[in-house]
Structures are given as C-alpha cells and as structure tokens.
Amino acid sequence: MSHWIDASNVVATFEWALSDTFSLRYQTGVTSSSDTRFRDGDDTDRTGTPGILNPGDPSVWPKANDNGGPYRDRLNVEGNDYDVQQHELQLTSLIGDNIEARFGIFMLDVESSGYSDRKDYEVAALYTSTLDELRALHAVGGAPDLGATFPSGTCEEILIEQFGRNFMDEEQGANVAPFSSAPPGSADNPVGWLPGHLECFDKDGFGNYAGGLNSGAWAIEQYLAQEQFSLFGEINYQVSENWNVSLGVRSINDEKPSHQFRKLSNSVFFPSRFNPFAQSVDIATVVTGDDRGPCNDAAFLADEEISLEQCLWDQFYEMNDVQAPRWLHVRRNASRVLEFDSTVFNLDFEFTPTEDMFVFGRVASGYRSGGMNSLVSVGNDFAPFLFFDPEELLTWEAGVKVRFPDAGLRVMTSAYLYSYDNYIANVAVTLCPDEPWECANEPNVNYGEVRISGVDFEFAWDVPAIENLSLFGFYALNDGEVLDPFVLPDYVWTGNEDFSEDSEYSYIFGFSGNNLPNNPKAKFNLSAEYAVPFRNGSNLSLLGVYAWRGKFDGYVANNENEKSPSYDRFDFNITWTAPSQMWSISVFAHNVFNEQEIELFEIDGFEYEDPGSGEEVVLLVDNAFVSGWRYWGSEIRYRF
C-alpha cells in the first residue's frame, strides 16, 4: 500500500481591547487536505502468489496462504479532498469584579469530494474496451453509421462526432435511468435519481474520471458539504472565593446538501451492451438473407420474451463472433439541501475547597445533525432508509481532582451519565433473506433511547525516588445500553430491474442483546516517560505506552460470533531535542509486538462470467479487515 497526504492549516487571530471592560476577538482558519491511496493485492491482509489468472478454471488460481481460497489480484485507488473554512467573532465584557460575559457568532463551511475505483486484474474479461469492440463490430458490418472506414480518435471523440457529446442518453436508446423516471424528490423517486447515461469503457481509463487506471470494476465519485451558523453566549459568575458557576447557551443551524455522487458500474457484472450505430442496416438481410431461422419461430420468441430485432442481432453477433459494445453504466442523483437546528446549553458548578483540590459538577445538552445516507451502496430501493433524524443528548457528570505536592502525584476521577434520544447508529438490512448480502444496505438509522454510564480514574506521578521519571495511567469502566432499539419500517419493496418478486425488509442477523456496539466495558493504559538531560542543554526522552481494551460487540445485533475480543499493544518513542529547542529527532515504534485483531469479517460472493462458456461462476471468499500492524519510523521536526 502507498498513501500520499498533502495538508495545510492556517489560523489568524486578532484581538482588540476596546476599553477596560470590553474586548473583541476574531479568529479565522482554513484547513485543506488531499490524500491518495493505492492498495495493491486483494485489499485485505491475505497473502498469496499473484500472477495471471484463468477465470475459466478456478482450480488453477493461485491460493491464498491463510485459507486456501483464491488469491484475488486487486487494486483499490481512493482519493479525497477536504476543505474547511471557519470564522468566529467574540465580544467579552467584565461586569463588576465577579461576572464575565461572552457573546459570539460562529460560521463553518465544509466541503469534501472523493472517489473510489477498484480494479479486478484476475478477471480477464475486463481487459477489453468499448473502442476495440466498436472496431470489431464495424469490421463485420455491424456499425454502418460510422462510415466505410473506421474513424480515428478515442471512443469519446467518436461519440462527440456522432452525437455532439461523449455519451448516449435515453434519446439514443440507452435506457439506463437507475430506478425511476419520476421527477427527482417526488414520492415515486425519493432518492432524486436523474436519468443515467453511458460512457466509454477503456482499459487505460474511462471518460474524464480521475481514478481510472486500468480495468475499472466499479468506481464512485461523491461530494459532501455542510454549512453551520451559530450564535452563543456564556456568563461566568464567581460567587465566592471557592465557588464559581457558568452558564452557556448556543443556537445552531446546519445546512447539508444531500450526498451527490455518480457511480460507474462495469458491464462485466452489470451488463450495459447495445449498438447505437446500426440505424441504417437491414439486420434480417445481413444475418441470414431471407431465412431468419429460429427468429421466425413465434413460440420461441414468445417463450423467451425477446423481440424479433433482438433475436436477429443476437444471431448476428454469434455468427460473426462479436458482441454489442460494452458501456459504463453511470448512475447519478440530484442534490437537495437538508436543514437542521437546535439550541444546546452547558451549566457548570466548580468548588475549590483548597488550592490542591477541585470539585466539579456539570449538566449539558448536545446535538448532532441528521442527514442523508450515502448512496454508494444503493443497488436497490432502500427509500425508507434514505434520511435519518438529528441526535439529542443530555449529560450529567461530577468529579474531583486532587494534587499531592510532596508525593508529586495528581489524581483525577469522575462519574458520568449520557442519555441519548434518536441515537444515530448503523444497521445492516436486506431484501434477500436467503442471500442477504446480495441486496444489502448498511444505512445510518435512529435508535430511540440509549444510555451510557461509567466511571474513570486517571493519575500522573513524578516519581520522587527516580529523578526525571514520570508515570501516567488511566482506567475506565463503561456501560452502554440500547433501551429503545431501532424498529424496521413497515415497508414492502415492489421489485425493480434486478429482482422480480416483492420483498420485505429484514435485518441481516437476528438480535440477541441490547449492548451498545463498539463500546468496551473496560480499558486502561499505563505509560512511562524518562528524560535524560545533557550538559550542552539538549535532552533525550524515552516514552513507553501499554494499552489494553476489553471485548465489545461489533454490531447492534450482539451476536456472539461477532464480538470483538480484548486487545492490547505497546508503543515506544525516543526523542532527542537540541539545546535551542528548535530541532528534534524522534524514532518510534507502534504496536511493537505486532498484535493484530480482526475489525470486520465478511463472506464475499465473488461472481464473474466465464468468458469461455458464458456461465456465471460464484465463489465464496473470506474477507477480513485486520488492524494493528507494527508501524515504525522516524521524524525530524524544526520549530520556528
């Protein structure tokens, strides 16, 4: 795997003292990042012997070392651009000797665009192009509209010359509107689908798509955005020398354009074949003269539910050993703006009985905006899961911080309770209970009530007996419970281009508990840092960190075979800092003992068409996503 990241962050702050009691502060910032990732191989941690594969004979495929299954030679290309602009203006006022008030405006503008493109090198049928197929079709007389001599130029250039643009739409017979011809956003088209179109497929890249390298199996482009405007105010009241109370209120308005994307599906798996260049050919004469063979058999035509013209073209392709040109099927959707707003508060009580003790209590509300589920995985009609509502939170927390100066020890502990309404979570649903992953979706949905409670303990100790040695530790107990789980909507899917029978939604797995997913009940870490000063003013710092996390449920279903086991790791860092403090050099190792864990495990149905027999071949392949690789390196830093 190779991964490039380019990022920049600029922040500017301006402050004005308007008077002895009023001050103004303005802060603005711009963050931009761009990353590109290439993952070569089978896109998992599996190892095997790569090579040229013969899809017609899976028995000779190279085997993966971990399970003896087929080694899939794949390349994933991913890229993202992320841009953030933010502005904040604050007015601070001192009222008397013990009250401070703060008021402000905050604005946020976020844009994100990305693409994902997968190449399946083990599928030999992908190594063709629309241009090659057009050329072969023209050579046997199947594309007369292109003239007596096949035109030069790229496939896109030929389309522009023929149609005035580089794609065919429904007017040219490319009936590829994904699911509905109803107006975008209407009851019959809630997703907002626009009529799809076809583009040339090229083994060296397709259309103007940035991610296309070679033999794209599928590709997606997606755009996301969010604008936020909020007004806030806060009052801090020093009640006495030992007591302080603060109250803050914020009004938030979010605007989110719904997901915009275009999906390019390779016709090897989702066939999009037709010949738009045969407007002037008498296909019956070209195929068999006056004898139309099986295409004259009315019973045959009725039984196969195909037209006479289609039957004749099928005969033509078979006789001349060519196919109708293959095109990329482009699906796209219209954008709409989603609006959310909320008012949240924060109330704090602070008590300092001595200079070495601090006691606090806090109650606050929170909010997370809703949105629209990503359309990347939409292959069918999942309209009931298109949108999800905002999440609301009420928190209670109390704690104490104590310092023991003579022992060099600081201790902090707290207890908390989080209560959520409309908790945003992810579930897996399907239209095909017998083969659930064939027509599955994993949307964000809203649970009803969720409660999280726990206690934590943290310490920092400068060990008196050993100069320059510091120890740090953290331990937490946590319980997350789904009190009101998500209920599937009462909805029946009525069929589309992929399925012919009505289906009802169902969860992919049954439920066996109400534990909140991805929520370990216990975790702790312990770290030690030792500093070695030198006479010239430089110093060497050695840091070691051990972390442990308990087991947890990977999914809301709480199935026993989907639980993630406990996991631990050890990290190490050595840093030398120059006397001027401007230069530093670090050497680090993360996960020194190379402990690994499976984050996600699925069974993939790997399906392709045998180019020899034309039959579909389906292989079940274990697909595990593994984290926790050993990661080491060095870093040189200069501060100015």
- Nearest 5°: phi and psi at 311? -60, -40
Q: What is the pLDDT of residue 267?
A: 43
Mean pLDDT of the 617-629 span = 69
Residue 264 near residue 219, CB atoms below 8 Å: yes
Q: What is the pLDDT of residue 214?
A: 38
Q: What is the pLDDT of residue 96?
A: 86
Position 517 confidence tier, pLDDT thresholds 50, 70, 90: confident
- Give residues with Cβ within 8 angstroms of 467, minimum separation 6: none
58: three-class secondary structure by DSSP: helix
Split at pLDDT 50, 70, 90, the class of 23 is: very high
Query: Taking the model in full, what pTM does it have?
Result: 0.74
Nearest to 380 by CA among 527, 457, 493: 493
Mean of the per-residue pLDDT values for the chain?
80
Q: Which of 142-151, 357-366, 444-453, 490-499 has the highest mean pLDDT?
A: 357-366
Q: What is the pLDDT of residues 270-294, one digit of tens each?
A: 556 778 776 666 666 666 555 556 6
Q: Residue 268's pLDDT is what?
A: 43
pLDDT of residue 314: 78
Q: Note the pLDDT of residue 615.
A: 72
Name the nearest CA neighbour of 621 among 37, 61, 50: 61
Q: Specify whether the CB–CB gap between 45 and 15 falls below 8 A.
A: no
What average pLDDT score do residues 184-200 get?
72
Cβ 40 vs Cβ 75: under 8 Å: yes
Q: Find all residues with CB under 8 Å of 355, minimum gap 6, and list them.
A: none
Secondary structure, 3-state, 523-562 = EEEEEEEEEEECCCCCEEEEEEEEEEECCEECCCCCCHHH
CB 238 within 8 A of CB 149: no
Average pLDDT over residues 224-240: 94
pLDDT in tens, 105-145: 999 999 988 877 766 666 655 667 788 889 999 998 888 88
Instruction: Give the residue-averaged pLDDT of 614-633.
Output: 74
Q: What is the average pLDDT across 335-362?
A: 95
- pLDDT (tens digit per residue) in 289-337: 555 566 766 555 555 555 667 777 778 888 888 888 877 766 677 777 8
Break the chain into its structural domains and give their ranges. Answer: 379-522
- The SS3 of residue 202 is coil
The lowest-confidence range among 129-138, 239-248, 404-413, 486-495 is: 486-495
Nearest to 217 by CA among 267, 271, 154, 168: 267
pLDDT at 396 over 80: yes
CB atoms within 10 A of CB 67: 12
pLDDT(492) > 50:
yes
Structure tokens at 256: 């989110």
Tokens of 506: 């169902």
Helix, strand, or coil (residue 56): coil
